[in-house]
C-alpha cells in the first residue's frame, strides 16, 4: 500500500503533553513529519523540554528543527540536537518537501541514523525490510536487470613498500559492487588484517572508484532473512571499520552509494578534483546498505547524511571536501602518491 504523509507543526505545549503528539495526530500507516518550532521565550516557559528531547530520539516520525532568529536557538539546544534535520526559516519549506518526497524510506533512514551504537546490524535489518516494500518493487519493475556478463577478478592486492594496496578491478562497470566483489573484498581485507600490520590503501581501477551496488543484483535474493545473515556475516563494512585507523581511500570518477559508504570509513580520504559523489538509495526505495549508517555520520553528522539521501543529487569533490566526506583533493596523476604519503603518516 502507498503510505500517506502528514506534516505537523509542534509547539512547546505539544511536546510537554503527557502523550506525544504524533501518537494522537497521525492516522494508521501515515508517515509523519514533525516540525519543531516556537520562540525562545516559549521554550523558557515550557516544562519538561529535556524529557521532550528524549522522546524525540524514539519518535516514529521525521523531525525537523526550525532554527534561526525567532525560533529554536540556545534554549532549545537539546531539542535541536535530537532532531533529524535542521532548517532556517527560509529553507524550512524546501526541507519539509524533501522529507515528504522521501516517504517511508526517508522515515526508515531517519530512524536508522539515530541508532548510533550498532548501525551496521540495524542497517541490514532496515535494508532487508525495504527490499520487500512497494517503493523498491516499483523501482525494480521499471528497471529490468541484465544478467552478469563477466567472470573477471573483482579485487587485487599487492604490497607497495610497506603498504597494502587493495584495488577494485571491475573497471568496465565502474567497479559496481556485486556479490562476487563482496566475497573477494572480504577475503582480501581478512588477509590484510591477519598479515603484517601495515597501512591499507583502497583504490578503484579504471574510470571510477565505485559506482555503488550492482543494480542488476538488487532484489535478486528471494529470502530477506538469509540475505541479512549474509550481509552481516560477510560484511565489507565491518572489515573496513576494523581497519579504519590505518585505512586510506583514493576516490576518482564516480563514487556512488556503497562507494561513498566505504570511503567514509577511511582515516584519510583523498579525491580527485573530478570525482562525483551521490547517495541515490531512497530513489530506489532502499537505504544505506554498505555500512554508511556508521561511516558517513561519523564524518559529516547524521543530519547532513540524511539530507544527502533526501536530496538525491550528486555533489562535486569541492563540496565533498567542504562537508568532510574527504580530507584532500588531488590531481589524478598524483592520487596514488598522495594516498601512499597519507598511509605513511598512519604507521
Does the domain spanning 121-144+153-345 belong to CATH 3.90.226.10?
yes
pLDDT-derived band at 286, boundaries 50, 70, 90: very high
Confidence of residue 215 (pLDDT cuts 50, 70, 90): confident
Which SS3 state, helix, strand or coil, does residue 278 take? strand
Q: pLDDT tens-digit profile of 309-332?
A: 999 999 999 999 999 999 999 999
Distance set, CA 280 to CA 50, 83, 198 (Å): 35, 22, 34
Q: Rounded to an integer, what distance in angstroms lies between the CA atom of residue 96 and that of residue 87?
A: 9
Distance, CA of 32 to CA of 102 (rounded, Å) = 11
Residue 156 contacts residue 189 (beta carbons within 8 Å): no
- Check pLDDT > 50 for residue 83: yes
Contacting residues for 284 by C-beta, under 8 A, at least 6 apart: 135, 136, 139, 143, 218
**DSSP structural state of residue 249:** E
Task: Give the Cα separation of 129 and 164 in Å (integer).
Answer: 36
Instruction: Tell me which residue of 202, 323, 207, 213 sits closest to 279, measured CA to CA.
Output: 213
Answer whether residue 1 shows pLDDT above 50: no
Highest mean pLDDT among 12-21, 133-142, 212-221, 336-345: 336-345
Higher pLDDT, 39 or 28: 28
The mean per-residue pLDDT over the stretch 229-251 comes to: 91
* Calpha distance 234→186 (Å, rounded): 7
Query: What pLDDT is stored for residue 51 in this prediction?
Result: 65
Between 43 and 121, the more confident residue is 121
Higher pLDDT, 317 or 26: 317
What count of other Cβ atoms lies within 10 Å of the Cβ of residue 51?
A: 11
221 φ/ψ angles, rounded to the nearest 5 degrees: -75, 125
CA quadruple 233, 235, 237, 242: dihedral, nearest 10: 60
User: Which tens digit of pLDDT belongs to each residue from 92-139?
Assistant: 899 999 999 998 899 889 988 988 756 788 898 899 889 888 898 898
Nearest-angstrom CA–CA distance, 158 and 336: 13
Q: What is the mean pLDDT of residues 283-308?
A: 94
Sign of the CA dihedral running 305, 307, 309, 315:
negative
Q: Are 196 and 230 in contact (CB under 8 A)?
A: no
* Strands across the sheet containing 254-256: 254-256, 276-278, 315-316
pTM to 2 decimal places: 0.87
Per the structure block, which three cell numbers stand in for 198?
A: 601495515
Amino acid at each position: 500500500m502507498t503510505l500517506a504523509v502528514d506534516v505537523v507543526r509542534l509547539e512547546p505545549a505539544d511536546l510537554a503533553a503527557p502523550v506525544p503528539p504524533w501518537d494522537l495526530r497521525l492516522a494508521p500507516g501515515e508517515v509523519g513529519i514533525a516540525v519543531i518550532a516556537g520562540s525562545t521565550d516559549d521554550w523558557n516557559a515550557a516544562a519538561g523540554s529535556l524529557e521532550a528531547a528524549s522522546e524525540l530520539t524514539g519518535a516514529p516520525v521525521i523531525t525537523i528543527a526550525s532554527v534561526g532568529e525567532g525560533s529554536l536557538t540556545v534554549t532549545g539546544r537539546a531539542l535541536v540536537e535530537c532532531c533529524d534535520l535542521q532548517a532556517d526559516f527560509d529553507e524550512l519549506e524546501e526541507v519539509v518537501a524533501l522529507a515528504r518526497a522521501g516517504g517511508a524510506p526517508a522515515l526508515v533512514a531517519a530512524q536508522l541514523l539515530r541508532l548510533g551504537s550498532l548501525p551496521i546490524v540495524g542497517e541490514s535489518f532496515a535494508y532487508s525490510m525495504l527490499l520487500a516494500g512497494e517503493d523498491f518493487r516499483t523501482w525494480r519493475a521499471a528497471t529490468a536487470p541484465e544478467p552478469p556478463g563477466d567472470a573477471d577478478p573483482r579485487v587485487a592486492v599487492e604490497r607497495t613498500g610497506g603498504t597494502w594496496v587493495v584495488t577494485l578491478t571491475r573497471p568496465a562497470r565502474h567497479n559496481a559492487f556485486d556479490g562476487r566483489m563482496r566475497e573477494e573484498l572480504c577475503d582480501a581485507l581478512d588477509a590484510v588484517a591477519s598479515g603484517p600490520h601495515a597501512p591499507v590503501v583502497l583504490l578503484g581501477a579504471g574510470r571510477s572508484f565505485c559506482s555503488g551496488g550492482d543494480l542488476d543484483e538488487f532484489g535478486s535474493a528471494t529470502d530477506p532473512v538469509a540475505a541479512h545473515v549474509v550481509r552481516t556475516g560477510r560484511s565489507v563494512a565491518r572489515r573496513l571499520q576494523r581497519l579504519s585507523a590505518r585505512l586510506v581511500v583514493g576516490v576518482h570518477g564516480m563514487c556512488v552509494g556503497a562507494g561513498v559508504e566505504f570511503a567514509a570509513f577511511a582515516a584519510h580520504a583523498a579525491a580527485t578534483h573530478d570525482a562525483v559523489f551521490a547517495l541515490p538509495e531512497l530513489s530506489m526505495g532502499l537505504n544505506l546498505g554498505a555500512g554508511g549508517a556508521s561511516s558517513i555520520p561519523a564524518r559529516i553528522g547524521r543530519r547532513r547524511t540524511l539530507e544527502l539521501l533526501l536530496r538525491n543529487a550528486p555533489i562535486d569533490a569541492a563540496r565533498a571536501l567542504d562537508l568532510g566526506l574527504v580530507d584532500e583533493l588531488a590531481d589524478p596523476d598524483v592520487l596514488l602518491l598522495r594516498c601512499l604519503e597519507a598511509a605513511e603518516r598512519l604507521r
